[in-house]
Amino acid sequence: MQVGGGSVRHTLAMRRRVVVTGLGLVSAFGNEVDGFWDALLAGRSAATETLLEGLPPVPTCRVPEFPLDDVISRRDAKRMDRVGVFAAVATAAALADAGRHGIPGERFGAAIGCAHGGAATVEEAQRTLRERGLDRVSPFAVPLGLVNSAVAGVARVHGLRGPSSAPATACAAGSDAIGFAYERIRDGRADAMVAGGAEAAIVPSVIAGYLRLGAIASLERGAAAASRPFDAARDGFVMAEGAGVLVLEEREHAEARGARIYAELVGYGQSCDAGHMTSPDDTGDGPARAVAEALAEAGIEASTVGYVNAHATSTPVGDRAEAIALRRAGLAAVPVSSTKGQHGHTLGAAGGIEAIATLVCFARDQLPPCANLDVSDVELDLVRTARSAAPEYAMSTGFGFGGHDAALVFRRG
């Protein structure tokens, strides 16, 4: 298969295969993928109690400080919001992991999903306007505050001039970014893409909004046990920050250069509930349709899937609706877990980070557990402790406010 021919367009009959050749991560567990996988399989939690101005204590999963000098320049970092720094650093790690690819920038794109954009930049602009006046507001407040600021920074720092996108489908954004990238390569519009999500929204105004919605977990059981996906005692999610980025590449090119292949991405499904602005459809119809579409594109039956990394955020309504959707899609007997009990809910970054979490089942032949699961109130085969398994297919789901539904199917590489 020719690579680098910018004018080439492939018909549906000539759909190309897409593989994952690089992984990059910024998380509350640190920035090493192997360390992240170790933490997941051990069932550890990264949550701590956090106190922000004007708010009661809340549990969060925050990214520890790390040096930038060996990843991106200080000059680049100063021209980014925190979310852009996370995205650029995760992308640098993913590209380094993928190795020498020889693909020109015009054929290498970027898709980074995000929900809140440059939240810290917006928060600071509001504070400056109130306290110091218009003349002291940064002229970069708008470009760094936009939802596309992360992907724009990634493209600029890494010279990626191919297709670009910044899905803003709330907590499905990272999954949709991976789906977008998959389709661009599959259909010949790019030869490789970095794709995933980034979020850095642990700021007072955003947390206050989620508190008013009743979506944030209480500290009744302590921060480490606050996020309880599928547990009957769950009472909200634990807000997290970070970034997860995959390098997706046309398979023939990856094989020709001897790249390590983590998995093949074989299916992507997308739908919308078109209902309530925050609550999911309790019939599970929308998510089930997204799952069915992903399975159909992969050409497999639901029973063929060996593991599902569920979106389940630890909210009472959301987890129940997702369980209904998975059962409706034929996945009731498939092992399921949500890793948010450990790394928290990274909102627009969830799809990228949890795609990486999903791939642990191929890399380690183990399924990560549902942490803090004591008594479940859903009917699924939930993974309570790390389980040995070597599935051929695994799925990652992503659902967001506004009824956005996404599902990805990976096949062992």
**Active site positions, annotated:** 171, 311, 345
Q: 221: burial class by Cβ within 10 Å (0-12, 13-18, 19+)?
A: middle
Q: 397, 410, 205, 192: which is closest to 297 by C-alpha?
A: 410
Radius of gyration of the chain (CA): 20
Paired tokens of 186: 């599959």
Paired tokens of 165: 């996108």
Cβ-count burial 144-183 (b if 16+ within 10 Å, e if not): bbbbbbbbbbbbbbbebebbbbbbbbbbbbbbbbbbbbbb
CB 338 within 8 A of CB 309: yes
| Structure-token match 């992503």, residue found | 398
CB 45 within 8 A of CB 225: yes
**DSSP designation for 380:** S
| Structure-token match 């500290």, residue found | 219
